[in-house]
Amino acid sequence: MQLRSIESIDTVACVGAGTIGGGWAAYFLSRGLRVRVWDPSPVAGEKLARLIDTAWPALTRLGLAEGADKDAWTIHTDLAEALDGAGFVQESAPEDLAMKQDLLLGIARAAAEDVVIASSTSGYPMTDMAEAAAAEGLADRLVVGHPFNPPYLIPLVEVVGGQQTAPAAVDWASDWYRAIGKSVITMDREVPGFIANRLQEALWREALHMVNEGEATVDQIDRAITDGPGLRWPLQGPMLTFALAGGEGGMAHMLDHFGPSLLSPWTRLTAPELTQELRDAVVTGCDDEADGRSFPDLVTARDAAIIEIRKLVGELRATLPGAAEHEAPVGGAA
Amino acid sequence: MQLRSIESIDTVACVGAGTIGGGWAAYFLSRGLRVRVWDPSPVAGEKLARLIDTAWPALTRLGLAEGADKDAWTIHTDLAEALDGAGFVQESAPEDLAMKQDLLLGIARAAAEDVVIASSTSGYPMTDMAEAAAAEGLADRLVVGHPFNPPYLIPLVEVVGGQQTAPAAVDWASDWYRAIGKSVITMDREVPGFIANRLQEALWREALHMVNEGEATVDQIDRAITDGPGLRWPLQGPMLTFALAGGEGGMAHMLDHFGPSLLSPWTRLTAPELTQELRDAVVTGCDDEADGRSFPDLVTARDAAIIEIRKLVGELRATLPGAAEHEAPVGGAA
Per-residue pLDDT of B53-92, as tens digits, reads 989 998 998 899 999 999 999 999 999 999 999 999 999 9
Per-residue pLDDT tens over the stretch B139-159: 999 999 999 989 999 999 999
Asked if the Cβ–Cβ distance from B155 to A227 is below 8 Å, we say: yes
Looking at residue B138, its amino acid is L
Asked if the Cβ–Cβ distance from A230 to B226 is below 8 Å, we say: no
- Give the C-alpha distances (Å, rounded to integers) separating A145 from A201, B105, B322: 19, 57, 32
pLDDT band at B324 (very low <50, low <70, confident <90, very high): very low
Asked if the Cβ–Cβ distance from A300 to B323 is below 8 Å, we say: no
Chain B residue with the nearest C-alpha to that of A245: B149
Nearest to A267 among B202, B209, B320 (CB): B202
Helix (H, G, I), strand (E, B) or coil at A299: helix
Asked if the Cβ–Cβ distance from B247 to A31 is below 8 Å, we say: no
CA B247 centroid distance within chain? 30
Nearest to A226 among B65, B237, B294 (CB): B237
Is the Cβ–Cβ distance between A306 and A231 less than 8 Å?
yes
pLDDT of residue A321: 55
Per-residue pLDDT of chain A (334 residues; tens, 9 = 90+): 899 999 999 999 999 999 899 999 999 999 999 999 999 999 999 999 999 998 999 899 889 999 999 999 999 999 999 999 999 999 999 989 999 999 999 999 999 999 999 999 988 999 999 999 999 999 999 999 999 989 999 999 999 999 999 999 999 999 999 999 999 999 999 999 999 999 999 999 999 999 999 999 999 999 999 999 999 898 889 998 888 877 777 888 888 877 777 888 888 888 888 888 988 988 998 888 888 888 878 888 888 888 888 888 888 777 765 554 444 444 333 3
List the single best residue of B92, B239, B275 to mutate versus A (max A Cβ within 10 A): B239
Per-residue pLDDT tens over the stretch B165-220: 999 999 999 999 999 999 999 999 999 999 999 999 999 999 999 999 999 999 99
Other C-beta atoms closer than 10 Å to the C-beta of A31 total 22
DSSP A145-175: EE--SSTTT--EEEEEE-TTS-HHHHHHHHH
Is the Cβ–Cβ distance between B83 and B36 less than 8 Å?
yes
Instruction: Return d(Cα A175, Cα B311) in angstroms, integer.
Output: 23
The strand pair at B156-161 and B142-146 is best described as antiparallel
Distance from the Cα of A76 to chain B's closest Cα (Å) equals 23
Q: Residue B331: is its pLDDT beyond 80?
A: no
Distance from the Cα of A170 to chain B's closest Cα (Å) equals 16
Residues of B in contact with A282 (CB under 8 A): 208, 211, 218
Residues of A in contact with B150 (CB under 8 A): 302-303, 306
What are the backbone angles phi and psi of residue A46, rounded to the nearest 5°? -60, -45
H/E stretch holding A304: helix A295-319
Per-residue pLDDT tens over the stretch B99-123: 999 999 999 999 999 999 999 998 8
Chain B residue with the nearest C-alpha to that of A66: B334
List the single best residue of A149, A157, A210 to mutate versus B (max B Cβ within 10 A): A149
Residues of B in contact with A275 (CB under 8 A): 212
- CA neighbor of A56 nearest in space, from A66, A46, A70: A70
Asked if the Cβ–Cβ distance from A154 to B232 is below 8 Å, we say: yes
Distance from the Cα of B275 to chain A's closest Cα (Å) equals 9
H/E stretch holding B119: strand B116-119
Q: Residue B48: is its pLDDT beyond 70?
A: yes
Residues of A in contact with B160 (CB under 8 A): none
Asked if the Cβ–Cβ distance from B216 to A195 is below 8 Å, we say: yes
Distance from the Cα of B153 to chain A's closest Cα (Å) equals 7
Instruction: Return d(Cα B265, Cα B206) in angstroms, integer.
Output: 12
Chain A residue with the nearest C-alpha to that of B258: A95
The predicted complex's ipTM stands at: 0.90
Looking at residue A69, its amino acid is D
Asked if the Cβ–Cβ distance from B285 to A211 is below 8 Å, we say: yes
Looking at residue A30, its amino acid is S
Chain B residue with the nearest C-alpha to that of A219: B289
Residues of A in contact with B215 (CB under 8 A): 187, 189, 191, 195
Residues of B in contact with A297 (CB under 8 A): 320-322
Asked if the Cβ–Cβ distance from A211 to B282 is below 8 Å, we say: yes
List the single best residue of A174, A194, A222 to mutate versus B (max B Cβ within 10 A): A222
Chain A residue with the nearest C-alpha to that of B67: A334
Asked if the Cβ–Cβ distance from A31 to B334 is below 8 Å, we say: yes
pLDDT of residue A330: 41
pLDDT of residue A299: 80
Asked if the Cβ–Cβ distance from B229 to A196 is below 8 Å, we say: yes
pLDDT of residue B218: 93
Where do the DSSP E strands lie in chain A? 11-15, 34-38, 73-76, 88-91, 116-119, 142-146, 156-161, 183-186
Q: Residue B333: is its pLDDT beyond 70?
A: no
Residues of A in contact with B206 (CB under 8 A): 198-199, 201-202, 269
Residues of A in contact with B208 (CB under 8 A): 262, 271-272, 274, 278, 282
Report the half-sphere exposure of A262 (CA within 13 A, side-chain side): 21
pLDDT band at B288 (very low <50, low <70, confident <90, very high): confident
* Interior/surface letters A81-114, b for 16+ CB within 10 angstroms, e for the rest: ebbeebbbbbbbbebeeeebbebbbbbbebbeee
Asked if the Cβ–Cβ distance from A262 to B205 is below 8 Å, we say: yes
* Triad A258, A229, A62: Cα angle to 5°: 140
Asked if the Cβ–Cβ distance from B219 to A19 is below 8 Å, we say: no
* Beta-bridge partner residues of A193: none
Q: Residue B274: is its pLDDT beyond 90?
A: no
pLDDT band at B325 (very low <50, low <70, confident <90, very high): very low
What are the backbone angles phi and psi of residue B75, rounded to the nearest 5°? -120, 145
